[in-house]
A and B are shown apart, each in its own frame.
Chain A
Amino acid sequence: MNIKNVNGKNVAYLEGEINAQTGAQVKAEINKLLDKGNVVILSFKSVVYMNSSGLREIIDLFKTASKNKKEVSLCDMNSDIREMFSFTGLDKVFKIYDTEAAAIG
């Protein structure tokens, strides 16, 4: 997973498949980033597959972040991935931006 700092905000580029295993890795790395900064943007641009176990890890990450008053937002999803969020209603839980630029603001 690549991480880039844009205007003081960390953008993490998730890749390939988000499942229980890769999701847990993402969670661990992002939690480390959130120890140091307040905002992390997850880019889904290169995510091709995702399942509910992976989604659960992302929810878990969000839960910890909101408890610590930190911000995790998501961006750049293809329509299949986005559909997983809207089907579960999670598109209303997360801040989801169309593009990375919009997420950075």
Chain B
Amino acid sequence: MGELQYEIKNGVFKVHINPDNDLSDISEVCNIVEKHSEVVLIGIDLYKCSYIQSKFLAGLIAVKKLAMSRKIDIELLNVCDQIAQVLQSTNLQKLFVIKDDFASYPLDTLFEGFLDTEKADTVSEYLAANYDEKIQNKLIEIIEKGNPLLVEYALLTMGKAQDHQNIEIYRKALNSNEANVKSAAILVLGWIGDTHSKEQLYSYLAAKEIGVFEAVAASIALLSDDTDSEKLAKYLHDKDERIRLVAIYALSLINDEKAFEYLSNAINEEKDETVRVQLAKKIALFKDERAGKILLGLLDDASIQIREAAASGLSRRGSGEFTSTLVEKIGDRDNWVGFFAAKSLAGIDDEKIIKKIESYYDKVEQNVKLAVIEVLGKCKGVDPSFLLSKLDDANEDIRKEALNSLNLMNSTVALTVAMKLYNTDESWLVRYKAVDIILEQKPVGYDSLLRGRLKDETNKYILEHIIGEIGE
């Protein structure tokens, strides 16, 4: 029997298991939980264990049972491969949330995580959140050693930690030959607001440095003042379409009046379809009223892609003064324009317009029908009979969408319908939505209602959904 190492902080009870801990030690975990009512989360740290005995597993199950009865969450931390295999083969992994907890790692081991695609981001996040002099020194050491993958993450981590002190290191990394290191340095300098580096970023644009375009555009925008829109605008006419795209991104982020002028002129001059689509999308992000008018004009463009992008942009902005045009567009020959046009009408409360929207329903394709039903749920003063009539449509998505809209409009009516459809609808998509509504409102006896059909339910997603909420 070993000694049990643990600490309790802010309701988190963390136990560090040693290889010499045995069953009696794990039973001790239960005793400690009994004594400390403030515990809301148990973390069992297996960092030091490379194998696990079956007796110990029995102990874990006992802790899990206790945790469940007290509604305490439980996590297994730093589970090694061998133990993961044992847990999987005994089907126990489902009982526990399995996570990494970097607090148990020695610093040197932790940095190796930068090399692991799946871990690099979380390791970096952890280091930034716990940033101190020790971590700082280690990161600087890594940058000096020069392995590009490690340097990239070291820079990003220092930037995340808002380390302004080492700005010279980031500036120096701008000159790296490795695109990933350079990109990281560019982003970090943008985050910490180093306007001093802006000219160098422009030089990368001018030199057309492949691989760092996106980062350059993003950081120039973050570092911009009222002179930058003009400087960037000349790249809207660059021969290389990638450079033009990057300029569009940066200008849309700067989002000032000048940027708007340049982008709206560019859409008249630009010939390349991909670039025009991007222009249409980004113009939609300007609050300027003229943006809406431009998009409206693009709804009649010869290119189907431009028409759809314009309609999508308008639907994000809301219909506003263009309502009547957009209502007509529901019946557009391109059904995705109709789809986005319908969606743009959320928030309408005019009965006449609502009737007009409904009148398109029978004339349009399935996807537009779905958008019409969706948007009716977001309008005010809609007569529910239209939606109710769709609940026995032959198409499962129509029924599901009608139920969803009904719920947004009148949750009491929707609940009654949901309780019925949960028992009768043949489509699992509809039943899943019904379960969602029932669980959202939790009416009296909802758990026995849900449980009542469990044995007949054949769809595993619904079973998982219900069991996840109310237990087996």
The chain A residues found within 8 Å of chain B, CB to CB, are: 17, 19, 48-53, 55-56, 59, 62-63, 66-67, 78, 80, 84, 87-90, 92-93
Q: Are B287 and A48 in contact (CB under 8 A)?
A: yes
- Encode B32-52 as 1/0 by CB contact (under 8 A) with A: 000000000000000000000
B190 within 8 A of A: yes
With a CB–CB cut-off of 8 A, which chain A residues contact B161?
A: 66
Q: Are B162 and A66 in contact (CB under 8 A)?
A: yes
Q: Are A49 and B221 in contact (CB under 8 A)?
A: no
Q: Are A87 and B249 in contact (CB under 8 A)?
A: yes
Q: Which of A49, A90, A93 meets B255, CB within 8 Å?
A: A49
User: Assuming the A-B contacts A49-B285, A51-B254, are A90 and B191 also in contact, with contact meaning beta carbons closer than 8 angstroms in the complex?
Assistant: yes
With a CB–CB cut-off of 8 A, which chain B residues contact A19?
A: 255
Q: Are B162 and A56 in contact (CB under 8 A)?
A: no
With a CB–CB cut-off of 8 A, which chain B residues contact A66?
A: 161-162
Q: Are B254 and A92 in contact (CB under 8 A)?
A: no
Q: Are A49 and B162 in contact (CB under 8 A)?
A: no
Interface residues in B149-193 (C-beta closer than 8 Å to A):
156, 159-162, 187, 190-191, 193
Interface residues in B192-241 (C-beta closer than 8 Å to A):
193, 214-215, 217-219, 221-222, 224
State the Cβ distance, B233 to closest chain A Cβ, in Å. Answer: 16
B242 within 8 A of A: no
Q: Are A56 and B193 in contact (CB under 8 A)?
A: yes
Q: Which partner residue on chain B sits nearest A55 by CB separation?
A: B222
Docked Cα-Cα span, A94 to B388, in Å, equals 43
Which of B160, B161, B217, B255 has the most chain A CB atoms closer than 10 A to its own CB? Answer: B255
In the assembled complex, 16 residue pairs joining A and B whose CB atoms fall closer than 8 Å, in A order, are A48-B287, A48-B317, A49-B255, A49-B287, A50-B255, A51-B253, A53-B224, A84-B253, A87-B218, A87-B253, A88-B187, A88-B191, A89-B191, A89-B218, A90-B191, A92-B124
User: Assuming the A-B contacts A17-B287, A55-B222, are A92 and B156 also in contact, with contact meaning beta carbons closer than 8 angstroms in the complex?
Assistant: yes
Q: Are B285 and A87 in contact (CB under 8 A)?
A: no
9 closest residue pairs by CB, A with B? A51-B255, A89-B187, A88-B218, A52-B221, A49-B287, A52-B253, A63-B162, A93-B160, A87-B218
Docked Cα-Cα span, A59 to B431, in Å, equals 44
How many residues of B are counted as interface, with CB atoms below 8 angstroms from the partner's CB atoms? 30
B457 within 8 A of A: no
Q: Which partner residue on chain B sits nearest A84 by CB separation?
A: B253
B436 within 8 A of A: no
The chain B residues found within 8 Å of chain A, CB to CB, are: 121, 124-125, 156, 159-162, 187, 190-191, 193, 214-215, 217-219, 221-222, 224, 249, 253-256, 285-287, 316-317
Q: Are A49 and B253 in contact (CB under 8 A)?
A: no
User: Assuming the A-B contacts A52-B253, A52-B254, A87-B218, are A92 and B160 also in contact, with contact meaning beta carbons closer than 8 angstroms in the complex?
Assistant: yes
Which of B125, B222, B249 has the most chain A CB atoms closer than 10 A to its own CB? Answer: B222
With a CB–CB cut-off of 8 A, which chain A residues contact B159?
A: 93
Q: Are B121 and A88 in contact (CB under 8 A)?
A: no
With a CB–CB cut-off of 8 A, which chain A residues contact B191?
A: 59, 88-90, 93
With a CB–CB cut-off of 8 A, which chain A residues contact B224?
A: 52-53
Q: Which partner residue on chain B sits nearest A20 by CB separation?
A: B256
Docked Cα-Cα span, A49 to B289, in Å, equals 13
Q: Which partner residue on chain A sits nearest B249 by CB separation?
A: A87
- Known: A88-B187, A88-B191, A92-B156; 8 extra A-B contacts, CB below 8 A, are A52-B222, A52-B224, A52-B254, A53-B224, A55-B222, A62-B162, A87-B214, A90-B191
Q: Are B286 and A49 in contact (CB under 8 A)?
A: yes
Docked Cα-Cα span, A55 to B191, in Å, equals 10
State the Cβ distance, B12 to closest chain A Cβ, in Å. Answer: 12
Q: Are A80 and B285 in contact (CB under 8 A)?
A: yes
Q: Which of A62, A67, A84, A89 meets B215, CB within 8 Å?
A: A89
